[in-house]
A = this chain, B = another copy of it.
Amino acid sequence: MIGRADCEALDAGDPLRAIAGRFAPGEAGTLYFDANSVGAMATDVPDRVDRHLAEWRNLRRRGWSESTWLDAPRRLGGKLAPLLGAAPDEVVVCDTTSINLFKALAAALALRPGRRRVVSQAGTFPTDLYVVQGLKTLRDDIDLHLVPDGEAIEAALDDQTAVAYLSQVDYRTARRLDIRRLTAAAHARGALTVWDLSHGAGAVPADLDASGADFAVGCGYKYLCGGPGAPAYVFIARRHHEAVRPVLAGWMGHASPFTFSTDYVPGPGLARFLVGTPSVIANAVMEAALDIWAGVDPAKVFAKHAALGDLLIRLAQESAGAQAIEVGSPLDAGERGGFVALRHPGGAAVVAALADAGVVCSFRPPDSIRFGLSALYHRYVDMWDAIERLRRILGEGAWRAEKYEKTKAI
């Protein structure tokens, strides 16, 4: 049996342990495991916000020419890129994940004229499928092929496939796909890849350039800690930059936005994937987090993240016999994404009871209790304390209380 003292020893040897001090702790006594939903706030955020508000008050429109507002999408992208295994000019921070999925999918399809098939997963994050369904209202030739849970994606890739449109990590189980292997399989059929990294980036490697990935998108508010509804990002491999003609075209993506020409001329490289005017305050908040990311070694992040998940799983297994907990995520950290899913028939009620006991995690139907783990601010003892509280709640049956019967899955 692993004891709390064992976990304390792991924390003492953690090369990233000082980083936790750069994040605001939240409510005293509460353990937050929703890095997969809303990551923690960098302690530097209030200063960044104050600085932005002073610029707004005093510069007004001159902020666009005299401050750092205009360049933020590319500057933030450059700071994020190493974590994704990409070059700084291959990532921009902008818009939302759904909108960036639309841009990337439409662009990838345009690079494969004559092919109609989009291969995705029946269990991909639902919004990813809604994006295809929306795009189909304009391109009714798209043949969306969904691979059922558990079946091999490779088998669905054929010579008519334009795009493999995949989530790196299953949002219910955390099962992780091998970006390199599936990208190679898609390329072997002449298809391109669009990866949704939302449940992986900031937790596990993406190695986009080394994997040969074509397009990727992801959200800024989960593991990346960019704040609730933070700007999302787009990666495009440099080899595609000049071939891409954006479907969502706007002045921020124009080669020369302040000449006000009538004709759209795409900006250099990834600049053309920008559309409208970005929220400057949202970018300022996001940058506080990205400045932390830019100062850590991604390899250390991924190693600690795997170790935290392994520990949580082992602690859960040690208490499983008595309490109907199952591990819903792969046991091998190499096959897991950013969270660990434990399964329990109590589902959402258990999550609500956990929150009242100071353990914030999230639920996804039918029975998945997700512990989103952050290598930046979680300690090993947090794993121990969380499982201890879960064990108590299940042992005492607290989750069966009437007040937990109607709980929302958010």
Which A residues are within 8 Å of any B CB, using their own CB? Answer: 24-27, 30, 32, 34, 37-41, 45-46, 49-50, 52-53, 56-58, 60-65, 69, 95-99, 102, 106, 110, 122, 126-127, 129-131, 133-135, 137-139, 146, 219, 221, 227-232, 245-254, 258-264, 275-283, 285, 355, 360, 362, 364-365, 408-410
Closest-by-CB residue of B relative to A72 is: B229
Please give, as numbers and ranges, the residues of chain B lying within 8 Å of A98 by CB-CB distance: 248-252, 275-276
Within 8 Å by CB of A99, from B130, B250, B364, lies B250
Cβ-defined contact, B408 with A229, below 8 A: no
Cβ-defined contact, B95 with A260, below 8 A: no
Cβ-defined contact, A247 with B53, below 8 A: no
Closest-by-CB residue of B relative to A283 is: B229
Cβ-defined contact, B232 with A276, below 8 A: yes
Cβ-defined contact, B61 with A96, below 8 A: no
What are 22 A-B contacts defined by CB distance under 8 Å? A26-B58, A37-B61, A40-B60, A41-B53, A46-B53, A49-B49, A65-B410, A69-B228, A95-B99, A97-B276, A97-B277, A129-B264, A133-B263, A134-B247, A137-B246, A227-B279, A229-B278, A229-B280, A229-B282, A260-B364, A260-B365, A279-B282
Cβ-defined contact, A262 with B64, below 8 A: no
The docked-state distance in angstroms from the alpha carbon of A10 to that of B55 is 31
Number of identical monomers bound together in the oligomeric complex = 2
Given contacts A56-B228, A69-B228, A127-B250, 8 further A-B contacts (CB under 8 A): A34-B61, A49-B53, A61-B410, A130-B251, A137-B246, A228-B280, A229-B278, A232-B276
Among A39, A245, A251: residue with most chain B CB under 10 A: A251
Cβ-defined contact, A134 with B249, below 8 A: yes
Q: A127-B250, A249-B130 are in contact. Are A355 and B62 (CB under 8 A)?
A: yes
Q: A228-B69, A259-B365 are in contact. Are A32 and B60 (CB under 8 A)?
A: yes
Among A34, A41, A57, A276: residue with most chain B CB under 10 A: A276
Closest-by-CB residue of B relative to A372 is: B61
**Closest chain B CB from A106 CB (angstroms):** 7
Cβ-defined contact, A106 with B251, below 8 A: no
Please give, as numbers and ranges, the residues of chain B lying within 8 Å of A245 by CB-CB distance: 137
The docked-state distance in angstroms from the alpha carbon of A106 to that of B139 is 12
Cβ-defined contact, B95 with A228, below 8 A: no
Please give, as numbers and ranges, the residues of chain B lying within 8 Å of A258 by CB-CB distance: 408-410
Cβ-defined contact, B264 with A130, below 8 A: yes
**Closest chain B CB from A225 CB (angstroms):** 10
**Closest chain B CB from A96 CB (angstroms):** 3
Closest-by-CB residue of B relative to A407 is: B65
Please give, as numbers and ranges, the residues of chain B lying within 8 Å of A250 by CB-CB distance: 96, 98-99, 127, 130-131, 134
The docked-state distance in angstroms from the alpha carbon of A69 to that of B227 is 12
Q: Considering the complex of A and B, which 5 residue pairs feature the smallest CB-CB distances, nearest first?
A: A96-B276, A134-B249, A98-B250, A37-B61, A98-B276
The docked-state distance in angstroms from the alpha carbon of A227 to that of B25 is 29
Please give, as numbers and ranges, the residues of chain B lying within 8 Å of A127 by CB-CB distance: 250-251, 254, 276
Cβ-defined contact, B279 with A229, below 8 A: yes
The docked-state distance in angstroms from the alpha carbon of A34 to that of B135 is 38
Cβ-defined contact, B276 with A279, below 8 A: no
The docked-state distance in angstroms from the alpha carbon of A285 to that of B285 is 13
Cβ-defined contact, B99 with A275, below 8 A: yes
Cβ-defined contact, B248 with A360, below 8 A: no
Please give, as numbers and ranges, the residues of chain B lying within 8 Å of A282 by CB-CB distance: 229, 279, 281-282
Please give, as numbers and ranges, the residues of chain B lying within 8 Å of A129 by CB-CB distance: 262-264
Within 8 Å by CB of A57, from B24, B52, B278, lies B24
